[in-house]
A and B are shown apart, each in its own frame.
Chain A
Amino acid sequence: AQRVTQPEKLLSVFKGAPVELKCNYSYSGSPELFWYVQYSRQRLQLLLRHISRESIKGFTADLNKGETSFHLKKPFAQEEDSAMYYCALSGSGGYNKLIFGAGTRLAVHP
């Protein structure tokens, strides 16, 4: 079954602390993995995708096919990082429907 698991509903850290939002997936094939973010009173938007191998707002995510994980990391959290983060996957071979995880709320305290 195709599934995305985000085990933490809430992650609370202090400013400057490292952050790791966990994401594990189940998919038969080669999926594309994404992280979406929703800031307060804003719409859902793409943060990064694994095929781009880029760092956005200091966040990075590495696809580990052996562990079927795509954890989101940032070495030093900022208060403006506080948001809801969703891990999602899409089937390979073009842009298909997205399967979302339950989401993790990141709260960065001063």
Chain B
Amino acid sequence: SAVISQKPSRDICQRGTSLTIQCQVDSQVTMMFWYRQQPGQSLTLIATANQGSEATYESGFVIDKFPISRPNLTFSTLTVSNLSPEDSSIYLCSVVGGQGGLDEQFFGPGTRLTVL
């Protein structure tokens, strides 16, 4: 299994500022994902981040608002820019790993963002 850590675990930010979330994995992985979970909602994929290429964003998410870096196979960052209260959510990163021919998606603990 893959062990994933995220920093910060939570933050409170002012409207108009930005927050960068870090995701660290204990092994090298090709595929990393960033999800958002708005209050009372399910998880929604923001983008897929593969090392060596630009992130692929899902419908409704754009690079200017959610820039992503993937400098190596164990690390990624997600920045949430120009924050508004609607960005208050839990942000999770996940990776694909596994053995025995069965891949599994492992999730980080999440970053709880509150925008005032």
Contacts and interface: CB of A to CB of B under 8 A. Distances in A.
Interface of A: 43-46, 49, 51-52, 86, 94-95, 97-103
Nearest to B97: A95
Contacts of B107: 43-45
Interface stretch (B18-26, B66-74, B75-83, B98-106): B98-106
Contacts of B109: 43
Contact of B105 (A46, A51, A94, A101): A46
Interface of B: 31, 33, 41-45, 48, 58, 92, 96, 102-110
Nearest to B45: A97
B102 A52 contact: yes
B104 A46 contact: yes
A16 B102 CA distance: 32
A51 B101 CA distance: 12
Nearest to A42: B109
Given A44-B92, A45-B107, 10 more contacts: A43-B108, A43-B109, A46-B104, A52-B102, A86-B43, A98-B45, A98-B105, A100-B44, A101-B42, A102-B42
3 shortest interchain CB distances as A-B pairs: A44-B107, A95-B103, A100-B42
Contact of B42 (A52, A97, A103): A103
A95 B105 contact: yes
Contacts of B106: 45
A84 B105 CA distance: 17
Contacts of B42: 86, 100-103
Contacts of B102: 49, 51-52
A108 B103 CA distance: 31
A35 to B, nearest CB: 12
